[in-house]
Amino acid sequence: MNVPTTWILVADSARARILSTTSTPKTLSPVSDFSCDAAREKTSDRNSDRPGRVHESSDVRHHAMEPPTDPKLVEIEKFIKEVADRLNKDAASAKFDRLVVVASPKVLGAYRAEFGKNTQQRLYAEIPKTMTQLEPRELAEKIKESTDVWLGAI
């Protein structure tokens, strides 16, 4: 019997881990670990200068200009794209048969938007919870508790 290789992406906006299993859920092996230090920083720490000032032509008041985009959000989007690109590449190379994604609902949606056709076809389950701090053994137990996802042969 050919046991499918299941990869588990456990992610939040600043950290992502890919784990693999081909046997019982208690044996999760690390595949990759990603980290985005910029996503952990406060936006105020990234912007060292004060925002520019604007003078309204119809009034004598001045106010600070808002940056057009939040630099922290841009870094988070880049990070999610980097991880999704890795999964897309590995799905195209058939390095895994099934994918389980464990992330908060917002992050889960961002990953879903970045997954290519091959990755989407291998998507086995989505678990809308943040579990990045759990060790592999604890993670396997939580996945088993929170869903009927079968991660390997019994």
Q: Is 106 exposed, middle or buried (0-12, 13-18, 19+ CB in 10 A)?
A: exposed
As a whole number of angstroms, the distance between CA 60 and CA 113 comes to 45
What pLDDT digit, counting tens, does each position of 100-152 carry? 999 999 999 999 999 999 999 999 999 999 999 999 889 888 888 877 665 55
Tell me the torsion sign for CA atoms 80, 86, 91, 97.
negative
pTM: predicted TM-score of the whole model, two decimal places = 0.79
Structural domains for the chain: 6-41+68-146 (3.30.420.60)
Three-class SS of residue 106?
A: helix
DSSP designation for 23: S
